[in-house]
Structure 1
Amino acid sequence: MIEEPAVLPTPREVVLAAGDWIASQLQQDGFVWLPSRLTLQRSVGSVRHQIHVQPDTYNRRGGPIAVQAMLNVRDTALRRWRKANPQLVFDPDNDYVCGHFLGYATGRANGYLYGDFRDGEIDLSSPGERERHLDAFVATVRQSVLPWFAEASDPDLIVESRAADMTSSPACIVDWLASRGRIDLVPVYVARYVERHPEWDEGVRRGVALAADGQRPEYSTNWADVLGWTSAKVTESHPAGPATGR
């Protein structure tokens, strides 16, 4: 039974207790609750799987209380690789691989093949309904999110995964493939991403041209340019060996 969230008076206390309860249900799957970060996390070798719980801006004591969940994959070995190859990356001190809102990984609802943004929301407003809503969230994690993490942590699977399609910074996945010694998958992934996001095509081509001229995109937030530049740099450089995950 979940008792604490039904009686805690402030939205933050409700969210903290809910996160703690979710972690107790997902403990067998390796997750722990990090209350200071509002994050559920597990480690698989050098890879970390994270479910970030983001409180709604409009949460009020005695009023609506909701959270939105975000998925992230991070890899400490990727940070080491980036630091060892600064000429190929924009942010060497970064372990980020990919991520997006949990709702897009749920595989159901509202006409979307892989789910809708709202599917990642947990409504904690009504004390009498909280346990039911949290039970449903845990079921979603087991049915949809754990397979999402499995795909997003495997170089052969991530290339055609929902995680790779939905991430806003696909150059980070290119970095990760290179760090794992799978440069052969980089052209496959970039072609797939551009096919699904045709508005990126011009920027990707521009990034490739900049790399050929020995230049860099002006801003790291020009994500299409960065994808083209990064993919060109890693495929021409063939940095030695994958980073170790141990």
Structure 2
Amino acid sequence: MHLTQPDDLIVRLLEADKPTDVVYVGAACLAGMLDGFGWVRSRHSLERRVSVRREVLQLEKSKRNRSGHLIEFTVASLTVFDEDLGAWRRANSELTVRRPESVESIVCASSFLDMPGQHSVVLTRPEERLTRLEQFAAHLRDTALPWFASTADPAQLARTAPDALLTAWGFAQDLIEFLVSTGHHLQAQALWDRVQEHQPAHRQAFVAGRTMAGTGERPRWHTPEALGWSASVLDLL
């Protein structure tokens, strides 16, 4: 896999000494090992754009990094944004919950630390850097990329969305809005049915959300009431 990397990038990876330089060059190399991803230094993230969809692997440098002792970075989270979903929310404020503007286009997100296996890559020794990045890239292809794929097709999303996204404080409500915004109303209904089956302990909160919809209130993002509210205002009941 490293043969696809530009020669100058490999040289920079092997010769870099300062932890920040190693991390940034290492991240650029890692992006080149993942299909379609690029390194966005200003956001410290690996990102892939497919039309209006943006998939993000957020990186964090270790606070213990020091030349000759430790140079490490972690994939902290995975997030999906969709520009059309953001536009739909802006145009249909009465059909979406109250949320910060920074997550106006969010489809879903997860901590990578909750996934099994390796979460970080150590690049302290120059002679080991390329091999370690290749191993980490293989791990991301087995874990992160399937996670992104699970919500990429709205026609299948009600079946393929991971259970971890469908908790009462998770991203089921965002996914339901995404499906409605793309015209997949039946998928939205199927996802709502799946949420109710997986979250029986929160049915009272769902009822409270439907009551809020009836009185013209708008719940806050990431609350169990938001799910019942969305089911009501988006006509999924």
TM norm. shorter chain > 0.5: yes
How has the CA–CA distance of structure 1 residues 154 and 3 changed in structure 2, closer, same or farther, with 3 Å as cutoff?
same
Equivalent residues of 1:165, 1:193 under 8 A apart: no
Equivalent residues of 1:100, 1:163 under 8 A apart: no
SS at match of 1:15: helix
* Identity percentage of aligned residues: 27
Q: What CA distance in whole angstroms lies between the structure 2 residues aligned with 1:170 and 1:143?
A: 24
- Write the deviation string for residues 80-116 of structure 1: whole angstroms up to 9, x where unpaired: 1111101111248511101213355xxxxxxxxxx42
Q: Could you tell me the TM-score, scaled by structure 2's length? A: 0.79
2:151 aligned partner, one-letter code:
A
Correspondence for 2:105: 95
Q: What CA distance in whole angstroms lies between the structure 1 residues aligned with 2:73 and 2:200?
A: 32
1:224 aligned partner, one-letter code:
P
How has the CA–CA distance of structure 1 residues 186 and 78 changed in structure 2, closer, same or farther, with 3 Å as cutoff?
same
Aligned match of 1:174 in 166, 171, 176? Answer: 176
How has the CA–CA distance of structure 1 residues 214 and 58 changed in structure 2, closer, same or farther, with 3 Å as cutoff?
same
- Write the deviation string for residues 42-63 of structure 1: whole angstroms up to 9, x where unpaired: 2212111222212234434443
Shift of 1:77: 0.6
Equivalent residues of 1:98, 1:169 under 8 A apart: yes
SS at match of 2:42: coil
Q: What CA distance in whole angstroms lies between the structure 2 residues aligned with 1:231 and 1:63?
A: 53
How has the CA–CA distance of structure 1 residues 23 and 225 changed in structure 2, closer, same or farther, with 3 Å as cutoff?
same
Q: What CA distance in whole angstroms lies between the structure 2 residues aligned with 1:187 and 1:151?
A: 18
How many matched pairs?
222
Unaligned runs of 5+ in 2: 3-9
Aligned match of 2:22 in 5, 8, 14? Answer: 14
SS at match of 1:72: strand
Correspondence for 2:62: 56
Please give the residue correspondences for 1:51-130 in structure 2 after superposition, counting only pairs within 5 Å.
51-69=57-75, 70-89=77-96, 90-91=98-99, 93=101, 94-102=104-112, 104=114, 115-116=115-116, 118-130=117-129
How has the CA–CA distance of structure 1 residues 201 and 64 changed in structure 2, closer, same or farther, with 3 Å as cutoff?
farther
Which moves more between the two structures, 175-184 or 56-65?
56-65
SS at match of 1:152: coil
Cα RMSD (Å): 2.7
Which moves more between the two structures, 201-210 or 75-84?
201-210
Shift of 1:125: 3.8
How has the CA–CA distance of structure 1 residues 18 and 196 changed in structure 2, closer, same or farther, with 3 Å as cutoff?
farther
Shift of 1:144: 3.6
1:155 aligned partner, one-letter code:
P
Equivalent residues of 1:71, 1:99 under 8 A apart: yes
Equivalent residues of 1:73, 1:153 under 8 A apart: no
